[in-house]
Structure 1
Amino acid sequence: MEMIALPVAAVLVALALLHAYWGTGGLWPGSSRDTLAAQVFGGPLGTPMPSVTACYAVAGLLILASWLVLAASGLLSAAGWPTGLIRSGAFGVAGVFVLRGGLGYALPRLTSGNHTFARLNRAIYSPLCLGLGALTLLSLLG
């Protein structure tokens, strides 16, 4: 279902750009590396942000995920790639997001400790992951 796949892919690209921005040293929505880490990574105060390499790796994986979602829906060419592999990859994307969203409510590290992160995780990160996973599944099954 193209009508679902396109906005899902757009959100994935936006998230990829945000991770790349962090990889370049960007601080939004924080005001320092410490406040950014507290808001988007969690852990006790002073927990360092993931490395530049990790930020870029996540950005790359999010771009790959967006391509898989679009290719599985027929909106982008997957010339040379087996349809089954593309669809399996897109189902994998859905599974990863559903798993992350669900674990965001279940794992103590994601639900307690750093109160800023725990609050943002419950209000934004986990629901976003669950929504992306569910919409990806819907685009594949629709």
Structure 2
Amino acid sequence: MFLIRLLVGAVLALIALLHGYWGVGGLWPGRDPHDLAAKVIGPGELPPAGACFGVAAVLAGAAGTVLLAPRSRPARRGAALTAGVLLLRGLVGYLLPRSGQKFDRLNRRLYSPLCLGLGLLTALSLRR
């Protein structure tokens, strides 16, 4: 189970770093702010830097709770919450109506499957 927790924690930490990168003005995987928004949130403007940093902090905390789950009851609860949120996010991505936008395609092919996989692995790592 340690390797599963390590994998999930590492992926969540990398996603947290990506959100921090966007918070300081990074544009990857977009070419410009409009293209980045189209790929990561859908049509519209990018959220403010503070929102990116907030999401980065939540993801970093989630990574920590997954890694620390076997060591404390609060971390175990946090990891269970993380699993639930990831599973819900993954499912919602498939329940939303299809728009044909860049984000919709990426959401169905990458973001939602990633959330479902991370949620399932987190839940699996909590089994005793």
Report if TM-score (shorter chain) is over 0.5: yes
Q: Which runs of at least 4 in structure 1 moved beyond 2 Å after TM superposition? A: none
2 CA distance for matches of 1:86 and 1:24? 29
Find the structure with the greater CA-based Rg: 1
Structure 1: gaps spanning 5 or more residues: 75-82
Q: Which residue of 1 aligns with 2:58?
A: 61
The answer as to whether partners of 1:38 and 1:114 remain within 8 angstroms in 2 is: no
TM-score, scaled to structure 2: 0.96
Q: Which amino acid aligns with 1:93?
A: T
CA contact (8 A) 1:23 1:52 kept: yes
Q: Do the aligned residues in 2 keep the contact of 1:104 with 1:121 (CA within 8 Å)?
A: yes
2:69 corresponds to which of 72, 77, 80: 72
5+ residue gaps, structure 2: none
The answer as to whether partners of 1:5 and 1:73 remain within 8 angstroms in 2 is: no
Cα separation, 2, equivalents of 1:22 and 1:7: 23
Is 2:121 aligned against 1:124? Answer: no
Percent identity between matched residues is 52
> What TM-score do the two structures reach when normalised by structure 1?
0.86
Deviation per CA, 1:50-102: give whole Å up to 9, x if none. Answer: 1100000000001100110011034xxxxxxxx32221111000000000000
Q: How far apart are residue 135 of structure 1 and its match?
A: 0.3
Aligned residues: 128
* SS of aligned partner of 2:115: helix
